[in-house]
Amino acid sequence: MTITVKLTKQGNSTGVRLPKEVLERAGLNRGDEVTLEVTGGRVTLVKSEAPYSAAMSAYEECRTRYSKTLEDLAK
């Protein structure tokens, strides 16, 4: 499914409206918490789940704390 939508101003932020059909197909509802990931110019939106959110938080902390080590290991 591909749908084009516009980014809109919402207060001091920018928002995007998700059509009802998109929410239904993604299994999302108003008020759900979602996680955004930005990689290679793409934004991925995923329904947050407690274990996933905890794992991502731990990853972000380790990535920040051990960035030099991870960079060296990648060589």
Mean pLDDT computed over 20-34: 91
Q: Give the distance from CA 56 to its chain's centroid.
A: 10
Percent of the chain as helix, strand, coil, to the nearest 5: 40, 25, 30
Q: How confident is the model at residue 68 (pLDDT cuts 50, 70, 90)?
A: very high
pLDDT at 50 over 80: no
Mean pLDDT of 35-59: 84
Mean pLDDT calculated for residue range 55-72:
88
- Predicted confidence at residue 48, as pLDDT, reads 81
Kindly indicate the confidence band of residue 72, based on its pLDDT and cuts at 50, 70 and 90.
Answer: very high
Is the pLDDT confidence value at 21 over 70? yes
